[in-house]
Amino acid sequence: MFPRSVRLLACAYVFLAFSAAHAPAGAASPDQITDEKVHARVAALLKQMTLEEKIGQLSQQFVFGKPDEVEDAVAKGQLGSLLFVTDPAVINQLQHVAVEKTRLHIPLIFGYDVIHGFRTIFPVPIGMAASWDPSVEEKGQTIAAQEASSVGINWAFAPMLDIARDPRWGRMVEGAGEDPYLGSAMAAAQVRGFQGPYIGSPEHILACMKHFAGYGAAEGGRDYDASYIPEDQMWNVYLQPFHAAVKAGVGSAMSAYMDLNDVPATGNRWLLEDVLRKDWGFNGFVVSDADAVKNLKTHGFAKDLSDAAVRGLNAGVDMEMSLGPGAYRQTLAAAVTGGKVTVAQIDEAAGRVLAAKIRLGLFEHPYVDEARSKQILAMPEHRTAERLAAERTAVLLRNEGHLLPLKPGANHSIAVIGPTADSQLDTLGSWAFQQDLNETVTLLTGIRSKAGAGTEVSYTSGVQIKRKFPSFFDQIFHVPPSPEWSPEQAAQEIQKAVDLARNSDVTILVLGEAQNMSGEAASRESLDLPGKEQQLLEAVAATGKPIVLVLMNGRPLDIRWASTHVPAILEAWYPGTQGGNAVADLLFGDAVPGGKLSFAWPRDAGQIPINYAHNTTFQPENQARRYWDEESTPLYPFGYGLSYSTFSFSNVKVSQPSVRVGQSLDVTADVENTGDTTADEVAQLYIHQQYGSTSRPVRVLKGFTRVTIPAHQKTTVRFPLTPEDLRYWSTATRDWVQDPSDFDVWVGGDSTADLHASFAVTP
C-alpha cells in the first residue's frame, strides 16, 4: 500500500492528465464556435425547415424498449432528442437514421440521467457536497462526462440544484443540502465538470440544471407535491444555486414538476422568462421534466392536452420530455394554425435547441467510436479517483475513546453486520444505472481486504430492509423484490448477529437505507432506522463489545440512541464503485475523515425544518427549548464533522472596521492542527446582519475552504466579503439591497463557531 500522500499526488495527476492522454485518436480539439457563427447557422437552418420539422426539434422521447419503435418518428423528423439509450451501437443506429434519412440531416441529441457517475459511480450528490471541496465535484463530473460521451451521450440531466430543508423528501440525496452558498459552489463546480471550459469541449457534455425551481420545498416532504415559498426565501435561498449555474455557463435547464405558489413550474412564465432569461441572461434551452407539460392538465392549470402545450411553450419550455408522443408533437401545429402560438415562438424555441447541437459539434461529429468507448469505461484511474472522492465525503459523527481508527493487528476477529454491508447495489445508491456491479467493492469486501490475513472477518446481515412500494426505476430495470423473512427467521438472524458480535473483538455495524429508499418517489414519513435496524443496533450494543456504526443513507436518520450508546459513528452515504475500499481506508486510518454535514441533522422528524439559518424571534434565550418534549437544537449542526486530529481557531481579523456600501473587505483567521495526525479541516465563515430593512438570519455561510494541515502546524485562511455577499432580497423593497448595518462574523469548524469579530457597513 502506497502512503496516502503518494496516493493523493497520483490522483491529482490523474485528474489533470486523463483528458489529454485519452483524447480521441486523430481528433483535433475544436476551437469554441463563436456566437455569431452559431446564430448564422441556426438562422439558415430555420429558413429551410417546415413547421413540423421545427416542432420535431422541440420533442424528446424515452426509449425503454426496442429502438426500432422510434425509428420511424426519427426518420420523419418528429423527434429531436432521445433519452435512456446508452448502447453506443444503438445510439449510432438511431443517429444514422436522423442524419441520413431526414431531409436536413439534423442530428439527435441523446440525454441521460448522469447524476453521480456513468460507469464509475461516485458518492451520491449529498455525499459529494459533504466534501466541502468543489474540486471533488468538478473532477467527478469530468470523469462522468468522459465516460458518458464515450458511448454517445451528449447531455446529462444534472446537476440537481434543489435546496432541501425537509429530509423526508427522497430527492434530498441528489442535491447539496440546505444551504444556498454551499449549494452554489457545488452547482458551479458540476457545470464546469460536465461542460469543460465551454460547451462543445472535447469529451464533455451539456449540463442541465434542475429542477427549476422550488421542488425541494414540496409540502410535507412528499415528492411531487406543491411548494409554497415566500418571495424572500425564493430569491435568497432556492434560486441561488441556479443563478450560480447560469453564471457558470450551464447550457440547459429543466422545469420542475410541482406547483409553485399555485402556478406549475412548467407553465410558470415568471420563472422561465422573467427570472431565467430576462433577469439572469440565460441563453440555453429549457426542457420539461418527464411528461410535465402533459401534467399541466393534471394540475388543473390547462384545459386539455392542446392547452397544456400552448401554456408550456408560452411559459418558456423549449423542449418537451415525454414518455411517449408528447403534447408538443401532437398539438402544436394546430395551435399555430389556430393562432394560439406563433411561428416566431416555434422558431425561437427550435433555434435554442439547434444552437446547442451546433455548439456540441453534433453536425460535424454525430457518431461515436464504439471500440474506444470500451477503453474509456475500463480506465482504472477513474476508479482510483472515485475512491479518493469517497474518502473525502465521509463524515465522522462520533469517536468516543478514539475507537477509530482501528489499529492494524490489534483485533484478531472483526464482525461485520448489517443488511447493506455486502450489497453492491446499495453501495452505489440511487440514480446509478450503467454501473458494473461485478467491480463494485462492498464494505465487507473492503474491510476484509484491509484487515489482512491475520484477522478473521465474519459477516451476517442481522436484519433485512423491505420496502413496500417499488420505485419507478425498479420497475423499468426489473429489480426483483427481496423475499420477506418470517418473524421466526427475523428473530433468529438478530440472535445470530448478537452471537457473532459477542465472539468478536470489534463489530462494524452497517445500517441505513436500501438504495431505493432515497431518490425520486422515495419520500419517507419517518426518519427512523428502517425495519428492525434499531432493534439490531440495541441488541448488538448490549454485548458490551466495541462497536463502530457505519451509515449508508441519503438523508439524516434518527440516531439519537446511537449518538449516546455507540462510541464511533461514520457517515459514509452511498459511497460508490470503490466505496468499500474507501470506507476501509477510513476505518483503519489510511485516510482521515474530513467531510462535513451539508445540513443540520435533526433529532427526529418532528423538528423539521431545523435549518441553521433561521431568524431570531421572541424570547431568543429560550431558542433551544421550543418544545416540551425535545430540544430545539439539531443532533449535529450544519457544517459538523470530526477528524482523527483536532483543530483550534484563533486570531480572527477583519481587514477594516467599517466599509461603505459597495465596498469589499477581508476576514482572516488562524487554524492550527493541535493533534498528532496530518488532517483536513473545513474553515467556515458565517456572518449576521444585526438590523436592516427586514429581519436577517442568526447567521449565514459566506465562505469556506478545506485545508490540509500537518500535525502541530498552523495556517492562515482568508475569506473575501464582497458587496454581493452582504446584499439580500428584501420583501420591504421588492429588490436587492445592501443595508448600512453592524455585522457579526464567526469563523470555525461548523455553524456553531464562536470565534467572533465584527465590522460595520456605512452609507
Catalytic residues: 289
Name residue, grid cell 441520413: 100
CA 740 to chain centre: 36
In angstroms, rounded to a whole number, what is the distance separating the alpha carbons of residues 230 and 253? 22
Q: Which residue type, as a one-letter code, is found at position 165?
A: R
In angstroms, rounded to a whole number, what is the distance separating the alpha carbons of residues 359 and 252? 12
Q: What is the DSSP letter of 223?
A: T
In angstroms, rounded to a whole number, what is the distance separating the alpha carbons of residues 606 and 617? 20
Grid cell, residue 708, equals: 490540509
The two counts, helices (H) then strands (E), for the chain are 25, 26
CA separation (Å) from 628 to 1, 429, 548? 53, 37, 32
In angstroms, rounded to a whole number, what is the distance separating the alpha carbons of residues 408 and 708? 24
Residue 111 near residue 157 (C-beta atoms within 8 A): yes
Per the DSSP assignment, residues forming a β-bridge with 507 are 415, 547
Helix, strand, or coil here: 178?
coil
In angstroms, rounded to a whole number, what is the distance separating the alpha carbons of residues 695 and 518? 35
In angstroms, rounded to a whole number, what is the distance separating the alpha carbons of residues 172 and 125? 9
DSSP secondary structure string for all residues of 307-372: HHHHHHHHHT--BEEESSS-HHHHHHHHHHHTTSS-HHHHHHHHHHHHHHHHHTTTTT-----HHH
In this structure, the dihedral spanned by the alpha carbons of residues 432, 435, 441 and 444, taken in order and rounded to 10 degrees, is: 50
CA separation (Å) from 268 to 24, 189, 233, 296? 42, 28, 18, 10
Query: Which residues have C-beta within 8 Å of that of residue 298, sequence separation ≥ 6?
Result: none
Residue 604 near residue 632 (C-beta atoms within 8 A): no
